[in-house]
Structure 1
């Protein structure tokens, strides 16, 4: 086992948009996480160097091919992953086909493994001290699992099994009920929420939308019914949005459209050994670090239906004195979000 994963070891800004009810499911904004005494270990954390891990959408055909050829520990990770998954993950990453790699069930394990392979690349090129420098970790949606694996909260294998189940369950939920996501560019959060309300009203009951990903200023992902997403696209210009982009995802992630995946995840998490992370890992649900294993399990089960508080996470880290950041894994999405908040922040990409 590689040393990188050895062991392999609340103020919220979300607003729920009215009229968003897929069938009997209610799309709701996330709520604060109840804090236990055992969950306060990282209450006064002081970030200096952060490792950020990407989420679904960062995948590209050809990723990981070079790192596996150059870094033996990365190759080992892909070999172990293929044994668990039952197919050659590296072949899909390196050769595609694109539609297979882009499927939720495959892209999530692929990004998880590729990102941890990038840790091995950093270790080989920059040394152990470069890896050990991280004193806080974060992940965008799926990337939260990668961050927890890096922080030794669970093993590489257990994390991969959870990610596999997460991807398959989210894909099944998306297949069961048509839904979509749209990126809205050029509006602040309040104005984007107003756009969601107008689009939900126009789409009608059970077809509305809400902000699902507070990515960075001027860039928010809206999620919900297909009709609601279409209404967002029609109305965006009247709200002074610069543009909208329909996202190539299976469905309305981070809303109650994903509720069917929650119970499967909750059951799997209950049977997974999770321990206190060795460094703070910031939750997508409330932008706070958690140390209590049961709280972490609860948060991970809630995460698929809760808005991602990424903008709050980045701003909080910077306010607390964050000095250096690394994006670990395919693509450079997270670096782009940070530059929208602080153009001068020291940011390094370790890509695969």
Structure 2
């Protein structure tokens, strides 16, 4: 085994150990252990943003517009203007897109309420979000209030942008391979680059669609080697840096500080964590999970499969774009999922 491979392996062992410690801490966190989901609300993450989103919803639904006004007071700029008019370069900034998607998704919830009634908006007995979307899910579940949510995602986006600026890194989507094959590809790519430039799977989305994160050299090595592993294609993602890896450790530390002083309540319904594909009810555990999420792989494929195995009958994707619906259809094409877009 090369020295680089050994370092990659040690890093993986260390991450697994951190995960085990987290689960030990969560041993008494079992309120939702036997949850039986029927209706899920899913909330999108960064990358779902498009110029023009939420414009019509804000015009048609006063409660949606009020969310943007409240958020703008906290952010210090007119968030609705950026969502509705762009420019795209500004909306795509990590520090801007994260609060934009968070508020737009909650505006979509107000749209659902206005169009289908209070009962439809309260129909979910479980919820989840893709990375950033976990904050929206926790807000829907009553664990985080709206103003605190805006402050947290603002800090999260700014801190992730700063961490990416401090140490150049990136992400690559690998299309057409199983998770095992992508892991082998990451190991081969990491063996070709200097220490600290390696890559690993960061987003487990669905079979044939996994995103890897790491140093720029590692991303380039993945792109070079992908065809030899029979990947259909690779796509360099338009993100600031290597999200959900140790490149985001400085952001995790800043987020931990903010979470420590933020009031988090026990969720009223299960919220499936990106870190371990399980629900948690203990507020301190939720804080640890949210901080860990920045440097841990996103287990969204496992989250969806767990819900389906437990009997999930129908779902709604609430927020801009239709990313999660596409993932769901790759996992179970027969599942009933409706989009409430803005």
Q: 1:222 aligns with which of 198, 212, 216?
A: 212
Q: 2:49 aligns with which of 26, 47, 59?
A: 59
Q: 2:62 aligns with which of 67, 72, 89?
A: 72
Aligned to 1:139: 129
Structure 1 residues 99, 18: CA separation in 2 closer, same or farther (over 3 Å shift)?
farther
Aligned to 2:97: 107
Distance in 2 separating the partners of 1:27 and 1:61: 40
Find the residue that maps to 1:31 and give its secondary structure.
Answer: helix
1:195-344 to 2 correspondence within 5 Å?
195-344=185-334
Aligned to 1:129: 119
Structure 1 residues 36, 232: CA separation in 2 closer, same or farther (over 3 Å shift)?
closer
Distance in 2 separating the partners of 1:156 and 1:77: 9
Find the residue that maps to 2:127 and give its secondary structure.
Answer: strand
Distance in 1 separating the partners of 2:14 and 2:171: 14
Gaps of 5+ in 2: none
Q: In the TM superposition, what is the alpha-carbon distance from 1:204 to its structure 2 partner?
A: 2.5
The answer to whether the 8 Å contact 1:28/1:256 transfers is no
TM-score normalised by L of structure 1: 0.92
Say what the alpha-carbon RMSD is for the aligned residues: 1.7
The answer to whether the 8 Å contact 1:54/1:111 transfers is yes
Distance in 2 separating the partners of 1:65 and 1:218: 34
Find the residue that maps to 1:285 and give its secondary structure.
Answer: coil
Find the residue that maps to 2:242 and give its secondary structure.
Answer: coil
Aligned to 1:172: 162
Structure 1 residues 257, 278: CA separation in 2 closer, same or farther (over 3 Å shift)?
same
Note the alpha carbon deviations across 1:150-197, whole angstroms, 9 max, x for none: 101010000110000000000000000010000000100001000000
The answer to whether the 8 Å contact 1:18/1:197 transfers is no
Q: In the TM superposition, what is the alpha-carbon distance from 1:35 to its structure 2 partner?
A: 4.7
Q: In the TM superposition, what is the alpha-carbon distance from 1:36 to its structure 2 partner?
A: 3.9
Structure 1 residues 223, 37: CA separation in 2 closer, same or farther (over 3 Å shift)?
closer
The answer to whether the 8 Å contact 2:5/2:191 transfers is no
Q: In the TM superposition, what is the alpha-carbon distance from 1:263 to its structure 2 partner?
A: 1.3
The answer to whether the 8 Å contact 2:189/2:221 transfers is yes
1:13-162 to 2 correspondence within 5 Å?
19-20=7-8, 28=15, 31-32=19-20, 33-36=23-26, 38-162=28-152
Find the residue that maps to 1:330 and give its secondary structure.
Answer: coil
Alignment length (residue pairs): 334
TM-score normalised by L of structure 2: 0.95
Structure scoring higher RCO (CA < 8 A, sep ≥ 6) equals: 1
Aligned to 1:4: none
Distance in 2 separating the partners of 1:226 and 1:45: 41
Q: In the TM superposition, what is the alpha-carbon distance from 1:28 to its structure 2 partner?
A: 4.0
Aligned to 2:184: 194
The answer to whether the 8 Å contact 1:329/1:350 transfers is yes
The answer to whether the 8 Å contact 1:18/1:201 transfers is no
Q: 1:185 aligns with which of 175, 186, 192?
A: 175
The answer to whether the 8 Å contact 1:27/1:255 transfers is no
